[in-house]
Amino acid sequence: MKKQASFSTQGSRADLGPLTIQRMLPNRYASAVGPFVFLDYVAPAIKNSITKNGMGAHPHRGIATLTYILQGEVEHFDSAGNGGKIYSGGAQWMKAGNGIIHDENFNYDSQTDSKYVQGFQFWINLPAKNKAEKPAHIAIQANEVPQKTLPDNSGTIKVVVGNFEDLGSKIPNYSEQFLYHIQLEPAKQFSFKIKKEIEVAAFLPTQKATLNEVEFQKGEFVEFDREAGEIEIKNTSETAIDIMLFGGETYAEPIVAEGPFVMNSQQEIIGAYRDFYAGKYGEIKNIN
């Protein structure tokens, strides 16, 4: 049985400095997809519009941030002393845990001929027992992202988060979760089975695609029902397309989100702000 689309949306504009950003999650229909509580899509931006002075240092608590860059490079700095730079196709994961301040520089990829920046930032909600842990950071280059060719040479699947068949990401799993980057060749299709009660959504950054016989346009975010079933993706375009497929098991604990903090109660939100203003998250010392 094929899963049904619950809704689709184009999100809302949430530009940041020189970057054109489309906020896909939360949206008017949903506040989370599995453990994912936030998704910003950074639309392609040309080299000359990018700053090297960071996007603005800010705190987080209770989540892990995930930056996945399609084109360009991203340099990370945080108050725990972590740093790293990823290039086109790479990912950076940062567990905010009990509190951290971070900043990122977006720029064109100095290792390739690409003069664009394009990518995603997700927030992954941590279980209550993990929200008080110390911060951590992982930088994963493109050649470290597990991937394989799809049957019938239909394209490729990259496992940015979670597992797929014999592939597993380096990013820790605190619950059942997945983020796949699927590239599908023209006139090809790929089917993916989802268990009951697993929340799943698709985002189409580059081209239209047909999902379970319904055509969705470039820039659409599509969430599906929670029944067990299949998602069939068809590429009716003349060029290869990209599909981001992500989700996981329902977050079973209370969710209270305010600003950059995602906790389990309003009291914990108050504590997150109190600790931040008291300077308990430290400061970034290694940014240019």
pLDDT at 128: 97
pLDDT at 35: 98
pLDDT at 107: 85
Does the structure show a pLDDT above 70 at 49? no
Does the structure show a pLDDT above 80 at 18? no
Does the structure show a pLDDT above 90 at 287? no
pLDDT at 22: 94
Q: Tens of pLDDT along 206-257?
A: 899 999 999 999 999 999 999 999 999 999 999 999 999 999 999 999 999 9
Query: What integer is the mean pLDDT of 43-57?
Result: 66
Residue 56: pLDDT band by 50, 70, 90 thresholds? confident
Residue 16: pLDDT band by 50, 70, 90 thresholds? confident
pLDDT at 114: 75
Residue 116: pLDDT band by 50, 70, 90 thresholds? confident
What is the rounded distance in angstroms from the CA atom of residue 90 to the CA atom of residue 160? 9
HEC assignment per residue over the chain: CECCEEEEECCEECCECCECEEEEECCCCCCCECCEEEEEEEEEEEHHHCCCCCCCCEEEECEEEEEEEEECEEEEEECCCCEEEEECCCEEEEECCCCEEEEEEEECCCCCCCCEEEEEEEEEECCHHHCCCCCEEEEECHHHCCEEECHHHCEEEEEEECEECCEECCCCCCCCEEEEEEEECCCCEEEEEECCCEEEEEECCCCCEEECCEEECCCCEEEECCCCEEEEEECCCCCCEEEEEEEEECCCCCCEEECCEEECCHHHHHHHHHHHHCCCCCCCCCCC
The CATH class, in words, for 5-277 is mainly beta
From the list 217, 276, 224, 257, the residue with the least C-alpha distance to 241 is 217
Query: What integer is the mean pLDDT of 175-201?
Result: 96
Query: What integer is the mean pLDDT of 56-75?
Result: 95
Contact 184, 240 (CB under 8 A): yes
Residue 148: pLDDT band by 50, 70, 90 thresholds? very high
Nearest-5° angle of CA 187, CA 189, CA 195? 165
Tell which wins on pLDDT, 49 or 273.
Answer: 273
Q: Tens of pLDDT along 71-110?
A: 999 999 999 999 999 999 999 999 999 999 999 988 888 8
Does the structure show a pLDDT above 70 at 51? no
